[in-house]
Structure 1
Amino acid sequence: MGEIGESSDPPFEEAYKKLFDEFNYAPRLSSEVDEVIAVDERELPLIDLEELSRGEMAREECKNKIARASQEWGFFQVVNHGIPREILETMRKEEVKLFKRPFKEKAMADKEFNFSEGSYRWGSPSASRVRELSWSEAFHVQLSDIYADGGNHHLSSIMRQVAIPLYELGQKLAAILAEKVGSSPTYFQETCLLTHSYIRMNRYPPRPISFHSLGLMPHTDSDFLTILHQDDVPGLQLVKHRKWVSVKPNPDALVINIGDLFEAWSNGIYRSVEHRVVTNSTRERFSTAFFLCPSYDTVISSSFEPRLYRRFTFKEFKEQVREDVKKIGHKVGLSRFLVVTDHS
């Protein structure tokens, strides 16, 4: 790739030159721009977790707010979550330093930090047109990698410091949601160990103003819960009432969203909602996401009848997602596991 390695940005325009050429020679595709413009900007339900440590009435009302937001939005945000701002800010600084490295160095960072092969990702290998291209780069790191690292790297040390309180927060919220549907709150302690989960560091570089590609394509998360720490640059959007809504950033809050596994486990009571990231033409955006996941052999099964989804393991779910992305270019997700479905 010549001298591209001197730049910190992935070589989007070189790698996807054919797609950009097709976009330029087909002006009618510009009408698709409307699809990446949200119709409204909204603030997610805001929940003060300090209420959990107050009287019984305040505690129960707080739990009800968490459950209600998970049913109606699939998303909410929390403040007074107990995670020191200093830890989150230190993690952000280390993340920025990592992404500012030359592209060639980032492409080789898996070996340097003992991350699993393929942890560094950028673009969309399956994209067949500009609107399917994710204008972003990320390090998707399994926490078992950083705990096996032995503490030899400063970045790994910082990731461990932030992972523990994020994991504890995820467990607390999962237990509340389980309690509110009458299930055992210990289920997640037994199936979702810290080393089963992931941290994903995201960077969304400024994209050329002439290309209206997304930072991250529409998707749902393949986990139980996701906890997101984002900067003040807008970009996160989600589907509400069948329309895209832009989420107003709150620098004091963490964003929580329900994943596919929780929707299946709760028999559809809690909703895994489609979301995406829209890029900015002038400002880069950073975020850090924590994914609360079970072991690969964990069976996902609802105790409610009639079941919407058949029993499946997390491994089976992940393999189906990979197969769909490889064959048709995108994730199908939970609809593959409906009790009654037809994909003929």
Structure 2
Amino acid sequence: MIDSKQNPPLLQDYTQLLNHSSSALDVKKCVNHEPGLEERELPVVDLSSLWSPNENQRASCASEICKASAEWGFFQIINHGISLELLRKMRKEQVELFKAPFEQKSNSGLLDNSYRYGNKTATCPKQLSWCEAFHVPLTKISDNSCYGEFNSLREVMQEYASAMQQLANLIAKVLVMNMGVRKGEWEDKCDASTCFMRLNRYPPCPISSEVFGLVPHTDSDFLTILHQDEHVGGLQLMKDSKWMAVKPNPDALVVNIGDLFQAWSNDVYKSVEHKVMVNREVERHSIAYFLCPSYESIIGCCDQEKSTYRKFTFGEYRSQIQQDVRAFGHKVGLPRFLVSNRDTSMRV
């Protein structure tokens, strides 16, 4: 029997989708779980060297960031300048927020009505994410009316978002300089008004062998900084055409490259497909910071004659993603913007 008090009511939604599937075996095949997948550690970059007075140490650190971005699309950072106390406070506030009743989270206007769970556009089990989240625009974080009774969350959210914005810009500038982009062009592209924070919770899942926590995807931004659960694993990424599980590192934040940096760098930096798996017994929390440009910002390789992608704006990119999700149930992404792509329906 389904628990009517389940928070959020994911199992009910999944049951409806499962009833339209030909068999449970087909569902598991679509989800493509790999039991016992080996955990591996991502490259670890010590950011303290970026503040070193020694030019060689700064250059070496920048080289590590660019190498990991090109070879992995993912890396971990330590000594990043964000205090462990702030990370702990943010996690504590996040956990308390998700403990609220489902009706309060979904109907009370919390955090600019940014609450979501599962995937309302899912038409089959492989499109459903077993998670709940607040996807919050940075422009709303300082708005008192967004917090309701969660008064202590506002101050922590503001401090956390400010720290993440500075850190994301620092890493982005390293990547931009390596691309040979002229000075000042990054400042023209970066726009805090379109950046987001996403607070995630992955509830215990009684059908964990049949569903994703977060479906396979790439991020539609410049880069993402993830504060993942220090103890409960679940993040997996594609490496050398195979899925690998990321071993949690309590001392590190995870950085991954988004679609916009891959396009702007002409495929030098890699926006890598990744997903989140769920646990049958325990919940998992994470916080993602998404670094985005203004909607009018043009994304295009410096040498357009050799570019893999045509020029496009961030607004155009987001609009195309939304169209594809409505039409096909999933994002198509960068293949839509290939110079050589004459059939925009490919891979859908």
User: Match of 1:253?
Assistant: 252
Cα displacement (A) at 1:181? 1.7
Could you list the per-position Cα deviations for residues 242-275 of structure 1 after superposition, in whole angstroms to 9, with x for gaps in the alignment?
1101000101100000001111111111010000
SS in 1 for 2:287: strand
CA contact (8 A) 1:147 1:195 kept: no
Aligned to 1:322: 322
Deviation (angstroms), 1:210: 6.4
Alpha-carbon separation, structure 2, partners of 1:140 and 1:99: 13
Are 1:140 and 2:130 counterparts? no
One-letter code aligned to 1:335:
P
Contact 1:235 1:277 in 2 (8 A): yes
Alignment deviations for residues 276-322 of structure 1 (CA, whole Å, 9 cap, x no partner): 00001111000000001111111112102411111111111001000
Equivalent in the alignment of 1:206:
204
> 1:340 is matched with which residue?
340
> In the TM superposition, what is the alpha-carbon distance from 1:183 to its structure 2 partner?
1.3
2:260 and 2:298 map into 1 onto residues whose CA distance is 10
- Indicate which of 16, 32, 56 corresponds to 1:35: 32
CA distance in 2, matches of 1:34, 1:260: 23
The answer to whether the 8 A contact 1:223-1:262 is kept is yes
- Normalized against structure 2, the TM-score is what? 0.91
% identical equivalent positions: 47
Q: What RMSD, in angstroms, separates the aligned Cα atoms of the two structures?
A: 2.1
**For the residues of structure 2 that align with 1:197 and 1:302, how far apart are their CA atoms?**
22
Aligned to 2:62: 63
Q: Give 1:148 shift.
A: 4.2
The CA deviation at 1:104 is 0.8
Amino acid at match of 1:131: K
Q: Deviations over 1:69-106 (max 9, x none)?
A: 00000000100000011111111111111111111111
Tell me if the contact between 1:174 and 1:185 (Cα under 8 Å) persists in the aligned partners: no
Structure 1, gaps ≥5 residues long: none
3-state SS, counterpart of residue 266 of structure 2: coil
Is contact 1:175–1:185 with CA below 8 Å preserved after alignment? no
Aligned pairs for 1:99-114 (under 5 A) are 99-109=98-108, 111-113=109-111
> Any idea what the Cα deviations from partners look like across 1:162-219, whole Å, max 9, x if unmatched?
0111111111101101111211353333322323211000000010146520000000
Please give the secondary structure, in 2, of the residue aligned with 1:157.
Answer: helix
Separation (CA, whole Å) in 2 of partners of 1:31 and 1:135: 15
Equivalents in 1 of 2:38, 2:332: separation in Å? Answer: 27
Q: Does the CA-based 8 Å contact 2:135-2:199 persist in structure 1?
A: yes
Query: What is the match of residue 226 of structure 1?
Result: 224
Q: How far did residue 323 of structure 1 move?
A: 0.4
Match of 1:36, SS state, is coil
* Counterpart residue identity of residue 131, structure 2: S
Q: Deviations over 1:20-76 (max 9, x none)?
A: 3456x7243265188222743210000001122332222111111100000000000
Q: After alignment, is 181-190 or 64-73 more displaced?
A: 181-190
Distance (Å, rounded) in 2 between the aligned partners of 1:183 and 1:35: 40
TM-score between the two structures when normalised by the length of structure 1: 0.92
Structure 2 equivalent of residue 77 of structure 1:
76
| CA displacement at 1:328 relative to structure 2 | 0.3
Question: What is the distance in 1 between the residues matched to 2:290 and 2:257?
Answer: 10
| Residues in 2 aligned to 1:133 and 1:27: alpha-carbon distance in whole angstroms | 15
Q: Is the 8 A contact 2:33 2:209 kept in 1?
A: no
Q: Which is further off, 222-231 or 152-161?
A: 152-161
Q: Please identify, of 183-192 and 44-53, the stretch whose mean Cα deviation from structure 2 is larger.
A: 183-192
What residue number does 2:179 align with?
Answer: 181
State the SS of the aligned residue for 1:16. helix
Q: 1:322 to 1:94 in 2, by over 3 A?
A: same
State how far apart, in whole Å, the 1-side matches of 2:14 and 2:28 are.
20
Structure 2 residues not aligned, in runs of 5+: none
User: Match of 1:239?
Assistant: 238
Equivalent position amino acid for 2:133 in 1: A
Against the structure 1 CA distance between its residues 131 and 171, is the aligned structure 2 distance closer, same or farther, given a 3 Å change threshold? same
Q: Pick from 150, 155, 158: which aligns with 2:156?
A: 158
